Each structure stands twice: as structure tokens, then as C-alpha cells.
Structure 1
């Protein structure tokens, strides 16, 4: 019972110190809002992430409903061309559009399906047929579409794309960090506890991996394997556990000579049991700090690889992919770079600020 109280005491003190850090709490709030937006946002924007509107390409960010007058005419002309008709008359009353379609060969009613397929109009209704079917009067509702962050080069809603991309970036960041955490803690604790030649050999392997150029390593993997999210996780986790292993090893070297470890040895507890029950739990403070700083590092690394075209592949997307697309169109559509960069920077800054707050809260010298 006393052991549980002793364990809960430092935890309560750490949480109390963290609760007094307004900056860290604000960063945590930002992270929660971004994560919630990425999870639920794509279903609430009214657009599918892969839904393209060819007539609304590279729209700037704004609150105005689309299609507006400047886009409605060209959209109707394009659809009339696909329907093999020409527009004799166009009249708009509110959101209702009255079209007169004509063709010398006769208007094929099946071609009216192009109107709702464009995504800009509802289901058309034929009001009148003239000249033996060579002319039709059609009414159709004009949809009111909103693109708060604008659209990309294919006419896809950029806000929805950013939120969907956030799912991939955050998932990769958390999953790769978790894998790196498990490998690094196990490797570092084992090396530090066993010591001697085993420790020296294991840490030399770490030094060799540190010397390996990461981008070259990823390119090498892509030569032998098809690009995928799994490959991305393997590539990132294969190198990101190195820092964690060094941190845990340094803590283990100071813990293995403590009295509770010697008592466990005297009682006949084997090395795996001592590492799992005594060493690893006492390294959780530095591990937690390192883990909070590892997640933004992984997200930034994934974005860098995707920016180079070595990461997430179509039809999936991530913040790095969107930033790369925006960089290619920065002169014609700067909003395409600004939108994903905003989400990426906000997430990285919030993670780093929260990580600093956790480090301060775990500091035994803190008040």
C-alpha cells in the first residue's frame, strides 16, 4: 500500500506542475483540436477528399459560395460541349437555373446526366420539348459549394485534403514513434544493464546506424520494395530508435548499481525480470520527454520524404505531399502551400512546446 502511495505521489506532483503551465496546456489543446479536426473534419466539410471539380480549379481561399458568376458560364459551356448541344438561352432565379438546350441532331436526354456529375448542379428536370426534340427547356438547381481554403490544381477542396492528410501524417508520427520507443527502450535497457563487452558491441552497432545516410537508406529500400505506408514506418522506425536507446542506456547505467537492483539480484531475479520490473519503470521520466519530442521529429521526417516523392504515394496524401504540390504551384496559387504548411507548423510547434512542458514538469528540481 505504501509503495502505491509513493508511486502516486510523484505522479500527482508532476501532473500538478503540468497543470500550472499554461503554455503547455494551450499546446495540448491545439493538438487535441487538430487531431479531432482530422478525425471528424472530412465528414463535415461537405466534400470528399478525392472529389474533383474541374470547373473550380485553384480557387483562392474565401467564404463566397461557388460556382459564382465568373465560373458558372464557363462550366455550362464545357458541359454543353460534352453533351453535344449548344445553349440557346440561360436564365437564373436564385439557385434555380433555366437552360434552353438545342441540337440539330436532337437533344439526347441521357446526356443530361453530365449536369449532376459535374458536382455543381442538382438533378435536372425537363420542362418543355420543342421542335421534335431538337430543343429542350431544362431547370436545374445550382449547388452552393464553399471552399474555405480554396481548391488545388484538380479542383479538390483543400481544407478536406489537409484534414485527410493529417490522419496519415499523425498516424505515421504516432505509430513510428511507438515502434521506435519500444525498440529503443528494450535495446538501451539491455545494453546498459548487461554492460561490458555486450554493451560495447551493441552501442557500436548504434554508431554504425548513425553513420548511415538516412535518405540513401530509404532509396535503397524503395529499390527492393514497393513504396507503401508500411515501408515508410519501417524506414523511419529503423533509425529513430537510436536516440531513445542512448537515453535509456545512460539512465540504466546509473540505475543498475542502485540498492533495489542489488536486492533483486540477491533474491535470484534474472536479468529480463530486473529490466522489466525495475529498470524500465524508473526510466519513464526521460523516456516520456524524449517520446514527446520524437513525434514531431517523425512527422517532419515523413513530410520531408513525401516532399521528395519518397514517402506517401497517391491516392493517399499527407501534409508533406500537399506541401510539395503547393511548392510547385506557389506562383499561381500560393494558398495551396499556405494551407498544409499551416497545419504542419501548428502541429510541430504544439508538440515541441508540450514536450518542453512535460520535461519541466518531470524535473525534480521544479517547484
Structure 2
């Protein structure tokens, strides 16, 4: 007796991977998101600036590829430092990124005052070349630092590129974590509600309606009564309400799918309700779920921005794209790059998420035929 083996077709995961690879816009969006994530994770270690480092002499510096300080900014910085040191600049010259100064004073100069030069972050440690007039006249030399601010600095002199990358960690963490919670809670709640039907479904949906009726800001204020404002409060507040939309979407899809023939066949074969949900219902609505999730990530990020703008979200010294955008909006006329830099990171991430969501929806749709 000859037994013929029936070849099995590719799995849903293999088909989805194949379709996604062939979708160039979605693949480009995925690469962009990975690049943004890696930049936020590793970029602050490569910029050469600590996110909290303040450069008092380089406040609101415009984005540039050239080094700072500029030649025309060296002399004003020297004059400010000499005023702090209570000295007079008699001579001044710059050559090969080194400044040479002749400092005078009515009294003998205390060389400890020269520490003001490296403290300014514009110059290195000073070296005394010559002493004259019983120490009332010093010739000193100090290297000029070469600092690069590709996206400029903010209102207090912090590197904006470093702050945008560090802020991206917080924004993406909030977006992904809250979306994951919304997926887990919303999918489970909506699927169970749709499969129950009748009175159980009505009761579960009325609970969702009651939670919808609670003002979000009021809910956050109540949480602030018991907890301090910060990152974890934002995560709890956002995750506690964002699963409601996901639950409704999943319930609607479940109601449409449970009357299909393949679900009836699964019931006839004796499969339990949890098995039907896990093997038939949820896999057949992955497309809408993924699309809703990719749209939820930017919405969560924008919601966090709203809370941070009100002072209820991420607090200093931590920062996020929403906090930076709020700061940039207050300095739009004098320093537009402070708004453009974090907004650019946010817009690129949102567009990439939307494009990737559309690509994943097509890749995970079991109704689409495999292209030849």
C-alpha cells in the first residue's frame, strides 16, 4: 500500500515574513525605526556631551557642522572670564587653536584664579609662560576647546542632539510599554467579551463605557494624590486607559469571526473556547490588531507629551520628546531649532510606525493570496 504525503503549505508566519520583505516601503520603515532605536540607545555615548552638561557661554547656539567657539566669540568669552577673575586683558592673540593672554592686576595675581578658564568649557587648563612685575603681570597660554553641536544648544546651553536621543529612550519606552499592556489586556478582554455574547458581553462592555466616561486628566490628578509625578506614573496612567479602544476593536472582530464556518467546525471538533480563541480567532484578526497597535504607539507618545506639557508627566532631570517640544514651542521665535529637532525625531518615528503598520496589516492578512 502506497501512502502519499500531502505537502503542507507555508505557515502564516512564513507568509507574513515573505510579504513584508517584498513590501519595500514597510521594510524601509522598519529599518528606519531600528536606526532611530539604536541611535537613541547608543548615540548619547558618541556625541561627546553629557545630556545634563551645561555650557554657559554657548547658550542657544545654532545648528552647525563647524566647531565652537567661533573666532568672533573667543574675545567676549575672555573678557567675561577676566572680569570674574578681576584681571585686565592687556594683550590677546589666537594661533593654532591656542589663546595667549597677558593678564595684569594692581596686586599680585593668584594663579588659582586661572582655573576659571577650564571651568568655562571653552578653554583647556592654562599654562603660565611668563611672570613679571612681582606677579602682577602674567603671560598665560590655554588651548581652545573644539565643541560640536550638530543640532545646536537649548536655552541653558545643553547639547540638543544628545538631549533628543536621551529623550527618545523615554518616549519610545513609554510608547512601546503602554502599547504592550494595551495589547495584552485589550485583546484578552475584547476576545472574551465577543465570544461570551449575550449578557456577559453587555456587562463587560458597560464596564468599558464607564471607564470611557472618566476624564483622563482627572484620573491622572487622582493618581498624583497618591504617587509622585514621573515616568512610572505616565506608564500606569496611559496603560490604564489605552486598552479600552483595543478591547472594542477586538470585540467587534470576534463577533464577526465567531459566526464563520471554520469556527463552527472547530466547535464541532470539540475544541474548547480558549483553544478556538488562540488558534482561530486571534490569528485571523492580527492585521487589525497590528494596525491599531502601530497607531497606538504614536498616540501614546503624543499623550505623554500632553501630560509633560501640563507638568504631570516626565520630570527633570529626565526628559522626553514631548518635554523638548514643549520647551521649543516657548522659544520658537528666538531658537526655532529647539522645536524642529525633537519634532523631527517624533515625525520620522510616527511616519515609520504608520507605514510599517500598513505593511504588517497586508502581510498578516490571511485572505490575501501569495504573490507569484
**What secondary structure does 1:56 align onto?**
coil
| 3-state SS, counterpart of residue 359 of structure 2 | helix
Alpha-carbon deviation of 1:329? 0.6
Note the C-alpha offset of 1:350: 1.1
For residues 271-310 of structure 1, what are the structure 2 equivalents within 5 Å?
275=277, 279-310=281-312
Cα deviation for residue 98 of structure 1 reads: 0.9
Q: Deviation of residue 181 (structure 1)?
A: 1.2
Shift of 1:18: 1.8
Q: Which moved more, 1:74-83 or 1:326-335?
A: 74-83
Match of 2:130 in 1: 128
Partner of 2:362: 360
Q: Does structure 1 residue 332 correspond to structure 2 residue 316?
A: no
Contact 1:149 1:335 in 2 (8 A): yes
For 1:82 and 1:172, locate their aligned partners in 2 and report how far apart those are by CA, in whole Å. 44
Q: Is 153-162 or 96-105 further displaced after alignment? A: 96-105
Aligned CA distance change for structure 1 residues 363 and 78 (closer, same or farther; 3 Å): same
| Correspondent of 1:321 among 297, 320, 323 | 323
Q: 1:119 is paired with a residue of what secondary structure?
A: coil
CA gap 1:3/1:342 in 2 versus in 1, 3 angstroms: farther
The size of the alignment, in residue pairs, is 362
Q: Deviations over 1:317-364 (max 9, x none)?
A: 111111111111111111111111111111111111111111122233
Q: Which of 38, 41, 45 does residue 39 from structure 1 map onto?
A: 41
Alignment of 1:177 onto 2:179: yes
1:104-126: CA deviation from partner (whole Å, max 9, x where unpaired): 23222222222112111112211
Tell me by how many angstroms 1:131 deviates.
2.0
Question: Aligned runs of 1:35-114 on 2, under 5 Å?
Answer: 35-114=37-116
Kindly indicate whether the alpha-carbon contact (under 8 Å) linking 2:12 and 2:366 is maintained by their aligned counterparts in 1. no
Contact 1:255 1:261 in 2 (8 A): no
The runs of 5 or more residues in structure 2 that have no matched partner are: none
Q: From the superposition, tell whether residues 274 and 359 of structure 1 become closer, same or farther in structure 2 (CA, over 3 Å).
A: closer
Partner secondary structure for residue 11 of structure 2: helix
TM-score, structure 1 as length reference: 0.91
Find the aligned partners of 2:368 and 2:278 in 1 and give their Cα distance: 28
Q: Counterparts of 2:329 and 2:287 in 1: how far apart (Å)?
A: 40
CA distance in 2, matches of 1:137, 1:260: 94
SS at match of 1:306: helix
1:243-258 equivalences in 2 (<5 Å): 243-256=245-258, 258=263
Q: Against the structure 1 CA distance between its residues 298 and 3, is the aligned structure 2 distance closer, same or farther, given a 3 Å change threshold?
A: farther
Tell me the SS of whatever aligns to 1:299.
Answer: helix
Comparing 211-220 with 332-341, greater Cα deviation is found at 211-220
Query: How far does the alpha carbon of each residue in 1:131-168 deviate from its partner, in whole angstroms, 9 at most, with x for none?
Result: 22222221111011111111111111111111111111
Q: Residue 54 of structure 1 aligns to a residue in which SS?
A: coil
**Alpha-carbon distance between aligned partners in 1 of 2:184 and 2:120, rounded to the nearest angstrom:** 49
1:13 is matched with: 15
Residues 278, 20 of structure 1: CA spacing in aligned structure 2 closer, same or farther, 3 A cutoff?
Answer: closer
Distance 1:309 1:233 in 2: 15
Q: Which has the higher helix share?
A: 1
User: In 2, distance between residues paired with 1:315 and 1:5?
Assistant: 56
Contact conserved, 2:230 with 2:312, CA < 8 A, in 1? no
CA distance in 2, matches of 1:144, 1:104: 33
C-alpha spacing 1:89/1:249, structure 2 compared with 1 (3 Å): same
Q: Which runs of 5+ in 1 are unaligned?
A: none
Question: For the residues of structure 1 that align with 2:244 and 2:157, how far apart are their CA atoms?
Answer: 42
The 8 Å contact of residues 102 and 135 in structure 1, kept in 2 or not, is answered as: yes
Which stretch of the first structure deviates more once superposed, 79-88 or 308-317?
79-88
Structure-2-length-normalised TM-score: 0.89
**Cα distance in structure 2, aligned partners of 1:82 and 1:113:** 11
